[in-house]
Chains A and B, each alone.
Chain A
Amino acid sequence: MKRAFVSLVRRDVALAVQVGGGGGMAVFFFFVTVALLPLGIGPNLNLLGQIAPGLLWVALLLSSLLTLDRLFQADFEDGTLDVLSMATLPLELTVVAKVLSHWLTTGLPLVVAAPFLGLLLNLSGDQFLPLVSAMLIGTPALSLMGAVGAALTVSVRRGGLLASLLVIPFYIPVLIFGVAAASSNVMPAVSTQAIALLGAVTLMSFVVGPWAAAAALRANLKT
């Protein structure tokens, strides 16, 4: 079971890296969005520095939404998912493996890119560490809840947009706590509190996400 899990993660990561359209595109989108925002708001560095954590988080959420259809779509279309659903590995763990590889190829690169984009937005020096740690803790929740949306819409043609609409409300706590962790450098206690709550949200989505996504996949596989 452990071997099946590991090889599934390895396969998905390899597919994402080799076939492309994965993390690289998401990071590129992240970069473009962040570059677009000052063009809309104006080049005022003081203002940008003030709203930088929020801008970075929103751009990160949007970029990770873009890649949701990669989670199950291709495997559903070519029948791999049917085979996986009959394997000894429970479908819930299959979902966890796919979420893990999704996070490794999307969430993690986005988090790595975030501080560099922070430089563009005049993010103040003492906010880098809280922001990046909040993102490290929060992004798994994005992949986990995103998996539910992706699984629900897997049989819908071009379901990416619908999946985004379904999961955006569930991303709100991540956004709120993530921004609070970084922007409250006035009160360090609030920052730690926000990071703890962010961890709670991630753990909660780890409980709910795989189970719901697996149930949704089963509903969609049954024809």
Chain B
Amino acid sequence: MNPMSHLTLTQRFHAFANPARFMALSDKLIAPFGFVTALLIGAGLWYALFNSPADYQQGESVRIMYVHVPSAWLGMMGYMIMAGASLVALVFRHPLADVCAKSAAPIGAAFCFLALVTGSLWGKPMWGTWWEWDARLTSMLILLFLYLGYIALWSTIEEPQRAGRAAAILALVGSINVPIVHYSVVWWNTLHQPASVFRADGPTIASSMLVPLLLMALGFTLFFMTLLMVRMRAEILRRRVRALQLALSEV
């Protein structure tokens, strides 16, 4: 019988807040998560590189998309996870939420960066330029700035509790501002640039391309989750070490 079945919903919520329980659970989950991730990304890459057609306009470089699009999705999802965890940390003082927000940031930033780099690599043969001040590119770049600011704030304030609260406030203010920034950039872009550079609506994606894309997206998401668990475990251990060191120095 499930040992938690007699608990109410709130009690379960708090039971998962226990870092020791999280450590035990994640210890069991990381290996299967990693295995499925490898399976999905392996299958996705095989489809993407060998078993999908080249685009009639973009040729072989369309294959960059299978890495680019999932990275961009996860770059945005990372921020949502960070902001959501920050809200939980501020409102409920959930001890793991804090750890989760901190651990999600570098992963999200890395995916954001990956999306920008792969987009740039794709843009050189397609648009003939490494960088285009397109609304989406610019928004993604600003998202990367937001990530980097968040990470910088965590690293400059030494005490985890204080740093956590400050970073959570920044993430929440950021999440309120992200739509404003995004739409201002879209508006700016339509003012300055005719949309003719980009096809307004590309051909709807063929199923031979959709299968690898979805496999990769799912694989990337699981990869994100696995990394998040690993990083959260490392962060919890780091805090334990810090607490022990503080206790030792007081002896």
Q: Which of A168, A176, A180, A212 contacts B145 (CB 8 A)?
A: A168
Q: Which of A168, A176, A212, A222 contacts B173 (CB 8 A)?
A: A212
User: Does A156 lie at the interface of the complex (its beta carbon under 8 Å from any beta carbon of B)?
Assistant: yes
Q: Is the CB of B188 within 8 A of A180?
A: yes
Q: Is the CB of B169 within 8 A of A152?
A: yes
Most interface-central of B142, B149, B173 (chain A CB within 10 A):
B173
CB nearest neighbor in A for B191: A180
Q: Is the CB of B157 within 8 A of A155?
A: yes
Q: Is the CB of A208 within 8 A of B173?
A: yes
- Interface bits A155-178 vs B (CB < 8 Å: 1, else 0): 110010010011011101100110
User: Does B185 lie at the interface of the complex (its beta carbon under 8 Å from any beta carbon of A)?
Assistant: yes
A-B contact count (CB 8 A): 80
User: Does B177 lie at the interface of the complex (its beta carbon under 8 Å from any beta carbon of A)?
Assistant: yes
Q: A176-B188, A201-B180 are known contacts. Are A152 and B170 too (CB-CB below 8 A)?
A: yes
Q: Is the CB of A177 within 8 A of B156?
A: no
Q: A155-B157, A156-B157, A176-B184 are known contacts. Are A212 and B172 too (CB-CB below 8 A)?
A: yes
User: Does A148 lie at the interface of the complex (its beta carbon under 8 Å from any beta carbon of B)?
Assistant: yes
User: Does B152 lie at the interface of the complex (its beta carbon under 8 Å from any beta carbon of A)?
Assistant: yes
Range of interface residues on A (Cβ < 8 Å): 20 to 34
Tell me, in angstroms, the Cα distance from A155 to B163 when the chains sit together: 10
Please report which residues of chain B, range 178-218, place their CB below 8 angstroms from some CB of chain A when the two chains form the complex: 180-181, 184-185, 187-188, 191
Please report which residues of chain B, range 140-169, place their CB below 8 angstroms from some CB of chain A when the two chains form the complex: 142, 145-146, 148-149, 152-153, 156-157, 162, 165-166, 169
Q: Which of A148, A153, A168 contacts B156 (CB 8 A)?
A: A153
**Count of interface residues, chain B, beta-carbon cutoff 8 Å:** 26
User: Does B176 lie at the interface of the complex (its beta carbon under 8 Å from any beta carbon of A)?
Assistant: yes
For B149, the chain A residues whose CB sits under 8 A away are 162, 165-166, 169
For A159, the chain B residues whose CB sits under 8 A away are 156
A→B interface (CB under 8 Å) = 148, 152-153, 155-156, 159, 162, 165-166, 168-170, 172-173, 176-177, 180, 184, 190, 197, 201, 204, 208, 212, 215-216, 219-220, 222
27 contacts between A and B (CB under 8 A): A152-B153, A152-B166, A155-B162, A156-B156, A156-B157, A162-B152, A165-B145, A165-B149, A166-B149, A166-B152, A166-B153, A168-B145, A169-B146, A169-B174, A170-B173, A172-B142, A172-B185, A176-B184, A176-B185, A177-B184, A180-B188, A190-B191, A201-B180, A212-B173, A215-B169, A216-B165, A216-B169
Given contacts A169-B174, A173-B181, 13 further A-B contacts (CB under 8 A): A148-B173, A152-B166, A156-B157, A165-B148, A166-B152, A166-B153, A169-B146, A169-B177, A172-B185, A176-B184, A201-B180, A216-B166, A222-B162
10 tightest CB-CB pairs across the interface, nearest first?
Answer: A219-B165, A173-B184, A176-B188, A166-B149, A176-B184, A212-B173, A169-B145, A152-B166, A156-B156, A216-B169
